[in-house]
Copies of this chain bind each other. A is one copy, B any other.
Amino acid sequence: MTAPFDFAPLLAPGTPAPAAKWNGFPKYNFVGGHNDADNVPVEALVEAATTVLRREGPTLATYGLNSGPLGYRPLREFLSKKLKGHAGIECTPDEILITSGSLQGLDLVNTLLLGKGDTILIEKETYGGALTRLAKFGVNIVGIPLDDDGMRMDALKSTLAELKARGVTPKYIYTIPTVQNPTGSIMPVERRKEMIALAREYKTMIFEDECYSDLVWSGKRPPSIHSLAGGEGVIFVGSFSKSIAPALRVGYIVAKWGILARILGLKQDAGSGALEQMVLAEFCTRHFANHVPKLNKTLSHKLQVLREALAEQFGTAAEFGDPPGGIYLWVKLPDNVDTLKLFQAAQAAGVALNPGPEWSTDKAYARSRLRLCFANPDPATIKKGVEVLADVCRREFGVPLRSSNVEKR
């Protein structure tokens, strides 16, 4: 009975390659949305779990607890208040759907709207995971360039006009307006209003991804596009991954009931994990407002450590800004550096990074760019990792010529 069975002839066409065995995290981990381990509020989570389980534990016996398929109601009630104060969003708890991470939100919205051959608009530099997901739908991905204030409205307008001339209505404009991934920009309110007007004019929707919007050092951010549009024609996704802990896998979609009901009709998973929702609701109601500024203090410090390390190790060879929030820095290296090749060489040296072409619709433009996430490694590891990266880069591409003011040849 135990002779090997060859399942290959049974695979569906186009099945992706098998996953590699996991060998632990890289030594210098500058990828992924990992967060600062010391800021996981362990004792408060223990307290929240104890309280909520003693109060409502038996409801775990029913799918959806006693809250129905939108998710644990006290968490939606917390979000309804938090989103009003934070992002200006006026929504009831019944206009919020809890998802298994904001990734499930992306999948649900894409499934709702996208068919093969459809067109979507997206920031030219954007979240790599959004691009890989869109590729699976076989859609036409049109990148809109950014400046320091986020997506450029002149470029959006001309692209929409060109598409209209060809009879194409894009399914949506995907934007990360508040701490853009990877550039870190925050779109000013006027530009947000322009985007809404353009979306209306061209009868397309806006898909607003706010996964990083809690991580703004100043604590201040413009109202969300969803709020400025009164919720009409905008689907908003958010997450607790960046503000509390990514392993929890809790995100949410905010939309008017008409469209949320459609999304809910596609969510056939019998609910997202209830214990996480219960513990988050209990924790956030009491501690979210105090927790986030503390986390931001750590993150903004780590950003400065990364920036100083890059300046020290790469000198003028690395160009980067000083983002007002987030967990990543978008870095430009000299034109001769191919970050896809750098990625391979760095990996062998224990340094993980996101090569620019995976984070952009314009592979040539992003060729010598890379994204470095700074939230997870401690400051000493950040410094050492950048030193190792500079060594690898010098060996492979001859830059930086000087590190720590010492010539390296």
Contacts and interface: CB of A to CB of B under 8 A. Distances in A.
A64 B231 CA distance: 34
A60 interface: yes
A118 B13 CA distance: 11
Nearest to A111: B12
A100 B269 contact: yes
A398 interface: no
B10 A63 contact: no
Nearest to A257: B21
Given A63-B247, A247-B60, A3 B270 contact: no
Given A1-B228, A37-B62, A205 B7 contact: yes
A259 to B, nearest CB: 5
A104 B60 contact: no
Contacts of A276: 273-276
B53 A270 contact: no
A45 B53 contact: yes
Interface in A336-372: none
Contacts of A257: 21
A114 B12 contact: yes
A325 interface: no
Nearest to A116: B12
Contacts of A24: 66, 68
Contacts of A22: 64, 68-70
Interface string A1-38: 11111010111110111111110110000001111111
Contacts of A171: 10
Contacts of A60: 40, 245-248
Given A53-B49, A232-B4, A273 B259 contact: no
A126 interface: no
Interface string A203-245: 1110000000000000000000000111111000000000001
A136 to B, nearest CB: 9
A408 to B, nearest CB: 33
23 contacts: A3-B232, A10-B171, A11-B112, A15-B265, A17-B265, A18-B262, A18-B264, A19-B264, A22-B64, A25-B66, A32-B62, A38-B58, A42-B53, A42-B57, A59-B247, A62-B247, A63-B246, A101-B269, A246-B270, A248-B273, A248-B274, A273-B275, A274-B276
Given A39-B61, A59-B247, A61-B376, 13 more contacts: A1-B228, A1-B230, A10-B204, A12-B111, A12-B114, A12-B118, A22-B64, A25-B62, A33-B270, A45-B53, A46-B50, A246-B270, A247-B273
Interface of A: 1-5, 7, 9-13, 15-22, 24-25, 32-40, 42, 45-46, 49-50, 53-54, 57-66, 68-70, 94, 100-101, 103-104, 111-115, 118, 129, 132-133, 169, 171-172, 193, 196, 200, 203-205, 228-233, 245-250, 257-259, 261-262, 264-266, 268-276, 279, 376
